[in-house]
Structure 1
């Protein structure tokens, strides 16, 4: 199976190829460089593997939540490729992708919990709780956006670990949440390589959709903009 995955849902910009179980990735921290970097990454990946776009079997992308602009960029590129190549698309939650990365990076034990937090701005977090099921993240409850003071651990799990840059606001979280967290890795952000590996499993489970159903997931219904001091 040959699958191309993209992620621009955070300050990271990445593209990855899943080729018969192997994953090759291009990744760069570029908060304002997604549009400039993404398609060259795709072209380089395909060229290095001796592949053409028509050789692909499916596409995948981190559908959010995350940066509104970033999520829209990946969505637009994926939809354009999907329509042009007549390929199915596998949307993957950005929170789920980080939970998957945390399982490996933090050596989360079988059945252990991963609480993923992203900074959603406006004094809120994107929040998702997952359980390690045979190396894959299983969502507990629902993904949500809320103030740090309102986060909850969605399952009765003995050992929890935290992942994502939203954990910078740990001091504002309820004591019953913070006290149950064994360790935290604030450096983990979504990566296309994680999206690709999750998407390959989802594709095998029949979770691919046509291009028109490959939609961004914002969680927050309204995008509010707050004027910063000194900005016009």
Structure 2
């Protein structure tokens, strides 16, 4: 087992989770454009509730995106600062994977179509299926596209897919018509809360897949945003 701090600010939600000695402590708030003010006090709050210091942890995990450009940058900056100060490795987790994991955790849905509203008439899209370890694994690849161009791997009309995320709440009709497979749309979770990243983060840490803080990178999916980031 691993003792982990997880931070996510990639969407409208700002959330922090701490797993220590098999206890989980969480803070979250739906507060667009306030992540920079909220995230560090949330970190301090969960550490205080657990009665520990950051240096007592094994690693820090973070929501790497896709999501809001500014939110992802805030998350990376905060995580790198904390990790450098405490000499801890880091672990990146997909926002889409966290959404799928949350639906499995809350409702035991094994086949999930996760979509986050990417604005500009597009969605961030990923298809997931639970594996033998109870973790959501990506099928095909994550991408950003118009809802009219989403696809799924090996579509099967004999099974019911579970749909989740703000992309579905915004483009439910178009997505359903485009895919043309049996789909149940779940209204929760809407966001990739940090607590949903705990199983993946722990698995990756135990598997030796954590890395140095300076290697933490965002996942934007949009080429134009990535190019702008490189120019900063």
State whether TM-score is above 0.5. yes
How far is 1:173 from its partner? 2.5
What is the distance in 2 between the residues matched to 1:86 and 1:178? 49
* Aligned-pair CA distance for 1:174: 5.9
**SS class of match (2:190):** coil
Task: Give a deviation string over 1:171-228, Cα, whole Å, max 9, x none.
Answer: 222635143213333652011111233201111112111111111100111139xxxx
Q: Report which of the two has the higher share of helix.
A: 2
- 1:212 aligned residue (211, 214, 222): 214
- TM-score w.r.t. the length of structure 2 is 0.90
Residue of structure 2 equivalent to 1:95: 96
Q: What value does the CA root-mean-square deviation take over the aligned residues?
A: 1.7
Alignment of 1:168-179 (within 5 A): 168-173=170-175, 175=177, 177-179=179-181
Superposed, 1:148-163 pairs within 5 Å as 148-156=147-155, 158-163=159-164
- 1:85-124 equivalence runs, <5 A: 85-108=86-109, 112-124=110-122
Runs of 4+ with >6 A deviation: none
CA contact (8 A) 2:3 2:58 kept: yes
Name the SS of the counterpart of 1:87 in structure 2: coil
Unaligned regions of 5+ residues in structure 1, if any? 225-232
Q: Gaps (5+ residues) in structure 2?
A: 227-232
Q: Deviation at 1:34?
A: 0.5
Report the more deviating stretch, 38-47 or 152-161.
152-161
What TM-score results when the alignment is normalised by the length of structure 1?
0.90
Name 1:33's counterpart in structure 2: 34
Match of 1:173, SS? Answer: helix
